[in-house]
Structure 1
Amino acid sequence: MNENLGLIWDRCLQFMRDNLNAAEDNTDLKKLENSFDLLFDKVQPISLVNNNLTLLVPSDFYKEYIEDNYLSLLSAALKKNIGKGVKLWYSVMENKPSGKEKPITMNVKGISTQQPKIQEARPVLRETDNINPFVVPGIKKVNIDSNLKADQSFDNFIEGESNKFASTVARSIAKRPGSTAFNPLFVYGGYGVGKTHLAQAIGLEVKASYPDKVVLYQSSEKFIQDFVKAAKSQNKTDFQHYYQMIDVLIIDDIQFLSGKAATQDSFFHIFDYLHQNGKQIILTSDKAPADILDTQERIISRFKWGLSAEIKSPNFETRRKIIVDKLSRDGIELTDDMLDYLASEVKTNGVRELIGVVNAVIAYSTVYKSDFSLDLLKDTINKLATTQKKTINIPYIQEIVCDYFGIQREQLLSKTRKREIALPRQLAMYFAKEYTNATFTKIGEEMGGKDHSTVMYACDTIRDVSKIDKELKKYIKDLKEKIAQ
């Protein structure tokens, strides 16, 4: 270790030690100092290049513990002794790859994401065999099914005011994956508005422009299933190494990682490795990062590193464009008044439902061998409105609430009192009373055998708290729209 670097680090440690009592109120200072020394005795600075400081830590645990408990204090010490704009990186000893590769490094959350030029680590690191069952030994690149659908390209993506910003950013990323400030790209919006299509379009464009890049689209459900299998077979390391090979990783419906702590831990390490190595990450969700419950704060923080882009429900002009595009691909032409009628009457929240209605119109015309006319369109839309009218019952409300909060029905009906489950459960009880004729007793039975007094308390609580809690008021508004749509 360079002598000057050692002196700088010693001053940083002394500054942190001197300020421990200011950082922690009502805590025994001696215990704090002992804990501090035990932790940082095993942390060693290994390089300071262009204002980039790299610390060698024994394991991921040390890195995470420092981030969670000493980040503010450490940042202040670095700014005082090195200067503003200092960037902190970690080299994790137990993650040292074999061969001549550089140590894995990790950027501190909230600080610049540009990768520094790190010198070879001088301390001897423990070598590990990174055996990956997905990779044939000696092959640098492996053929991985990208899970991309050819029809979900940019050419087939209809751009409008509701998605223009997200679409523009997506096209920029596709040209230079991993090299823009939009990493990760976090696309969010309601059901069926085109989030998956846009994410897949990026993947397809990257594959076309950069054939050597490994692109993978994965639903969060499949990601979770793979992790569980890996954990059961004690292959979690191989699971992480597999995802660390990806150049462009697309995870759909990331909100479903909510409540799954072990999967979140693995995703966190995969995310940091890819991000630090300049790989592109694309995530979709039905909620903005701040609205995702029961997810580690460090993960939510990383969602915000790049850019969050919302896709809203299509407006009239966009709906009209979608209808024209869909019909033209099926060789069908409509008059302007028919197109205007379809676009104005079919006020679905998502593109997917809109396409479904257009498909139904085509089917009615084919079955009844009728030419398209304004009367046929009106008749078809009326029939669809009648047949598709939802029955709002307790199971339906439970489904809507679970989907909105990204939880399982089993969790909703469980006895846990964790806020991330208790609040959705109270909202489900509240809406069950609002939208059905069920008694408090019946609602309690449907909600996992709860007492009628529990249901009454839940309804009263939601009504009272919503008057002063803006977040709860938003939940109620969103859920009302979803239940009634």
Structure 2
Amino acid sequence: MNENLMLVWENCLQFMRDNLNAAEEQSDLKKLENSFNLLFEKVQPISLVDNNLTLMVPSDFYKEYIEDNYLSLLSASLKKNIGKGVKLWYSVMENKPVGKENPITVKVKGNSIPTPKVQATMPTQSLASNIVNPFVVPGIKKVNIDSNLKSDFSFDNYVEGESNKFASTVAKSIAKRPGATAFNPLFLHGGYGVGKTHLGHAVGLEVKAQFPDKIVLYISSEKFIQQFVSSAKAHKQTEFANFYQMVDVLIIDDIQFLSGKPATQDSFFHIFDYLHQNGKQIILTSDRAPVDIMDIQERIVSRFKWGLTAEIKSPDFDTRRKIIVDKLSRDGIQLSVEMLDFLANEVNSSVRDLIGVINSVIAYSTVYKSDLSLELLKDTISKIASTKKKVIDVVYIQEVVCDYFGIKRDQLLSKTRKREIALPRQLAMYFAKEFTNSTFAKIGEEMGGKDHSTVMYACDQIKDMSKLDKEVKKYVKELSEKLKS
């Protein structure tokens, strides 16, 4: 290795050590230094050419961990010791046994990201408080695990219609023989509030009722990711995987949020394979079909297709009417045919919105001590509509873009240059200029303190790319429709 390069890298490491956290207590600072040294002792500089520094890391996890926890500090260090405009690239080592040897091959990642980049350090998070500690050693007996299932999300409370009948029928079949049907995994996808989560819980509840000894676990993908990050920081990835391998029926909600998280995807992939090979049932929900999930490994997408993919659409008129009758009858309320038809016609978006309107109608009737009437329904819905009048501002655009791409708003507003975040950010800036009267400077301020020139560049980029790139053109068209609807 070039001695000058090694000296530069040592200076960079020393700068980072000196600036880890001056405000920490001495004992805590020592822990930070130990953690820092353990991480970076396995990171080596391999080249510095034309202000392009390439670091060799053992795996994608190291790259992801560095970017999540040390990116701001590393950028400052590179700027100080190498100069402005330095670009950082990662190479990943892969061990490939050949005979008795384990030669190391270097693979330069195609999506390497230039620095300087600034990203806030993620605080160490414990496992979600309402999830049973996944690091309990199972021993001989079954571990008592809270399934996190909602009792009111049962099959009895699930109203079938043309929009969901196929998915519901398959779900009931799975509940009778979890892991033993051809529907493994069951991948449920559909828009907001159409009943995907309800159906997943219903399967879990039925399995627990029919097979009390089976371990059933419902978890959101966000909590799964939090658990993985916590286990990685504590060097307990093996315990994390062992816990999930104990589960008989695993239900993960909003799996699209694994997008852009390669290390978490690697862990999920191995858990998935173990469960599937051992006849355990997997149920996944998403707001989009497997092929439409961005930045997720092809091997995972292929496994999503092993079982059955079922789309749940927005309920039609008859289904909406059934939902209204079912909901009101459980509350001891009856409506006339005219009133039922009015409600079913008026609220045609999602089941969740429909239930919200029904609850509002009941609340208005109770508060004002009025009998339910067609006039009251019309007045109530009119008031709801006026209070929920959509305002297209920068924040609303950010929310729509984040929901579309399955990312969080704080990621959108961060300074990371990962493509899976940078492209949505540019789209949000573009639509902010298209749909609002905000200046470039104002949009930049609301997009996490970006400079007005950054916003101007983003708008020009999207305009140009939408003419040449079919994928970007599709994003612009679909997001524009969502914002106008």
Cα distance change of structure 1 residues 370 and 460 upon mapping to structure 2, 3 Å threshold: same
Q: What's the offset of the Cα at 1:391?
A: 2.4
3-state secondary structure, aligned to 1:334: coil
Residues 321-377 of structure 1, C-alpha deviations (whole Å, 9 max, x = no match): 1111111111111111111100111122x2111100000001111111111111111
- The match for 1:427 is 427
Counterparts in 2 of 1:29-428, with a 5 A limit? 39-41=97-99, 133-139=135-141, 141-348=142-349, 350-428=350-428
Q: Secondary structure at the match of 2:218?
A: strand
1:395/1:38 CA distance change after superposition, 3 Å: closer
AA at the equivalent of 1:251: I
Amino acid across the alignment from 2:367: V
CA distance in 1, matches of 2:100, 2:208: 44
Return the alpha-carbon distance in structure 2 between the equivalents of residues 339 and 149 of structure 1: 28
The Cα of 1:315 is off from its aligned counterpart by 1.6
* Alignment-derived partner of residue 456 in structure 2: 456
Q: Which runs of 5+ in 1 are unaligned?
A: 1-34, 44-57, 66-131
Classify 1:256/1:38 alpha carbon distance in 2 versus 1 (closer, same or farther; 3 Å): closer
Q: 185-194 or 291-300: which moved more?
A: 291-300
- Unpaired segments ≥5 residues, structure 2: 1-92, 108-133
CA distance in 2, matches of 1:284, 1:319: 22
Identity %: 74
Check whether the contact 1:444–1:455 (CA below 8 A) recurs between aligned residues.
yes
Give the AA of the match of 1:283. Answer: L
Shift of 1:186: 0.9
1:70-121 alpha-carbon deviations (Å, 9 max, x no partner): xxxxxxxxxxxxxxxxxxxxxxxxxxxxxxxxxxxxxxxxxxxxxxxxxxxx
- Could you tell me how far apart the structure 2 residues matched to 1:477 and 1:336 are? 40
User: How far, CA to CA, are the matches of 1:168 and 1:444 in structure 2?
Assistant: 49
- Where does residue 46 of structure 1 map in the other structure? none
Equivalent AA in structure 2 for residue 387 of structure 1: T
CA distance 1:344–1:174, shift in 2 (3 Å): same
Aligned length: 365
Kindly report the root-mean-square deviation, in angstroms, between the aligned alpha carbons of the 2 structures. Answer: 2.6
Query: Taking structure 1 as reference, are residues 37 and 263 closer, same or farther at Cα in structure 2, changes over 3 Å only?
Result: closer
Q: Which has the larger displacement, 312-321 or 467-476?
A: 467-476
Letter in 2 for 1:41: G
Amino acid at match of 2:406: G
Is the Cα–Cα contact under 8 Å of residues 259 and 407 in structure 1 kept in the other structure? no
1:347 partner amino acid: N
| 1:432 partner SS | helix
Question: How many angstroms apart in 2 are the aligned matches of 1:168 and 1:344?
Answer: 26
Instruction: Find the aligned partners of 1:225 and 1:467 in 2 and give their Cα distance.
Output: 39
* Cα distance between partner residues in 2 of 1:353 and 1:38: 53
Q: Distance in 1 between matches of 2:220 and 2:198?
A: 13
Q: Tell me the alpha carbon deviations over residues 218-237 of structure 1, each in whole angstroms, 9 at most, x when there is no partner.
A: 11122122222222222111
Query: What letter matches 1:337 in structure 2?
Result: E
Instruction: Tell me, in whole angstroms, the C-alpha distance in 2 between the residues paired with 1:358 and 1:334.
Output: 11
Mapped to 2, the partners of 1:341 and 1:400 lie a distance apart of 29
Q: Distance in 2 between matches of 1:41 and 1:177?
A: 42
- Report the TM-score when normalising by structure 2: 0.70
* Cα gap change, 1:333 to 1:173, in 2 (>3 Å): same
Deviation at 1:42, TM superposition (A): 5.9
Worse overlay, 219-228 or 445-454: 445-454
Aligned mates of 2:450, 2:156 — CA distance in 1: 52
Listed one character per residue, the Cα deviations across residues 426-449 of structure 1 (whole Å, up to 9, x for unaligned) are 210121112211112221232233
- Amino acid paired to 2:383: K
User: Counterpart amino acid of 1:417?
Assistant: R
Structure 2 letter corresponding to 1:197:
H
- Tell which deviates more after alignment, 198-207 or 412-421: 412-421
For residue 453 of structure 1, report the CA deviation from its aligned partner.
3.9
CA deviation vs aligned residue, 1:242-282 (integer Å, no higher than 9, x gap):
11000100011111122222222211111110011111100
Paired with 1:299 and 1:42, the residues of 2 have a C-alpha distance of 31
**3-state DSSP class of the match of 1:156?**
coil
**How far apart are the structure 2 equivalents of 1:347 and 1:149?**
25
Alpha-carbon distance in 2 for matches of 1:221, 1:176? 28
Give the 3-state SS of the residue equivalent to 1:466 in structure 2.
helix
CA distance in 1, matches of 2:308, 2:139: 37
Q: Distance in 2 between matches of 1:382 and 1:177?
A: 46
Corresponding letter in the other structure for 1:389: K
Give the SS at the match of 1:161.
coil
Aligned-pair distance for 1:475?
A: 2.6
| Distance (whole Å) between structure 2 residues aligned to residue 460 and residue 440 of structure 1 | 12
For 2:293, the aligned partner's letter is I
My pick for the range that moved more, 453-462 or 166-175, is: 453-462
Partner of 2:311, secondary structure, is: strand
Paired amino acid for 2:297: Q
